[in-house]
Structure 1
């Protein structure tokens, strides 16, 4: 009985010390006086953290910003409950105004990422490189949105234009494996990468998969459940597995003249 009691005391002491450390790190956050924090939150690492006025960090959010790294947002930023943001040494995430990272989303950063005004990531998203040693950038321009339950692989760059909507359950892959070596498992061959770009005002429907080295043009619609395997020109609608063009929006607009 004494041994159990001793373990409980030791565990409680460690828990108490850990929370004191989080409070200490929180006190070093730039803009803390105008930041709303719904405790408890986890703040770890010796990197720089800054938030603009009227920003909110919700309960059980975790910000782990290592030495020589930086997390910086301007005003009206919202970090949701259980959101997990990790920034490795030498990396950074810089956001402008009215950005948000939703409840239970995981954002792991190994390069320099940038969010524009009103860049929003919804709930339960997983955004990070899915291959060790391959670290791309995530660039989200103004008014872009990633909906719930998306998986964004950032082994290479993912560049999202202005006013882009990405529906729930989408998967973006920026890496692949060569699978012609029969001595290796098909999933463990030589790694290849290719960035993904999405042009302004495009709409990616729910449960769409986008493969590496794909550029989606401006004002494009990709229908739900499609698989995009090649680049897509501006002002078109695509659907299917693999996705094919089904409509030109330019021709439709020309019909009115």
Structure 2
């Protein structure tokens, strides 16, 4: 079962680590106790994986799931310098960039792409077929529904909820319209906000804590309330282009 390339250097493993045939582990990696690396997974150099984490899990489907098609998924790829916490599950078909951070208990589903230096907080869930840019921060227990798009430099506070089904699970018609929210570059979402299906939030827009977003939001404006309404312009010094870490 466990077969690591002889050229791998400085691999540190805890107890009862499982590395299936066909997995590739980079140089100078650390795998905690009970880590499972499924066949086909590629782990870059200098990656740390916490105890009890599963990499490359195949998805299961309930008979009543909205999406029941079983598809052949590409292999999971973990970029170099990435840190993954304890008890995480990252599915086959996902792709994580370089220097990402995934907190304990997080779940990243299949066909999800995550850019370089993005943070996925403790207990956060990113559902399938989502696209996350670089330098994004997704905080503790946030829920990113399937078919969502989050562009570079966005911030998503704890307990934020994205949704993708306006039909609330009823009628076959709904399957034609599954669509998660889209956050444009630099958008920021406050704690416990809810974003309804298909909503587009403009660049550098801000959604206040506890808001419910029911319509598209314009760039560089602050919104609050349920439903969210315009409050004021985003201060110039807070725009992403004026931050020291911003790369054009």
TM-score (norm 1): 0.73
Structure 1 counterpart of 2:55: 63
Unpaired stretches in structure 1, ≥5 consecutive residues:
1-18, 130-136, 179-186
Shift of 1:251: 9.6
The 3 A distance-change label for structure 1 pair 68 and 168 is closer
Shift of 1:250: 7.8
Q: Which runs of 4+ in 1 moved over 3 A?
A: 64-68, 249-253
Of 30, 34, 38, 2:24 maps to 30
Structure 2: distance between partners of 1:236 and 1:126: 27
Larger helix fraction of residues: 1
Of 207, 214, 217, 2:202 maps to 217
Larger strand fraction of residues: 1
Of 187, 196, 219, 1:202 maps to 187
Structure 2: distance between partners of 1:146 and 1:29: 28
141-150 or 195-204, which deviates more? 195-204
Question: Does the 8 A contact of 2:140 with 2:158 survive in 1?
Answer: yes
Structure 2: distance between partners of 1:29 and 1:240: 48
Shift of 1:252: 10
Of 49, 59, 62, 2:41 maps to 49
Task: Note the aligned Cα RMSD (angstroms).
Answer: 2.4
Shift of 1:24: 4.1
Structure 2 counterpart of 1:148: 140
Number of equivalent positions = 208
Question: Does the 8 A contact of 2:221 with 2:232 survive in 1?
Answer: yes
Structure 2: distance between partners of 1:174 and 1:211: 7
The 3 A distance-change label for structure 1 pair 250 and 43 is closer
Structure 2: distance between partners of 1:24 and 1:249: 49
Say yes or no: does 1:245 pair with 2:230. yes
Q: Give 3-state SS (helix, strand or coil) of 1:54's partner.
A: coil
Question: Does the 8 A contact of 2:148 with 2:179 survive in 1?
Answer: no
Question: Does the 8 A contact of 1:49 with 1:65 survive in 2?
Answer: no
TM-score (norm 2): 0.76
Of 72, 75, 78, 1:73 maps to 78
Say yes or no: does 1:174 pair with 2:164. yes
Shift of 1:124: 0.9
Question: Does the 8 A contact of 2:98 with 2:116 survive in 1?
Answer: yes
Question: Does the 8 A contact of 2:23 with 2:37 survive in 1?
Answer: no
The 3 A distance-change label for structure 1 pair 143 and 59 is same
Structure 2 counterpart of 1:162: 152
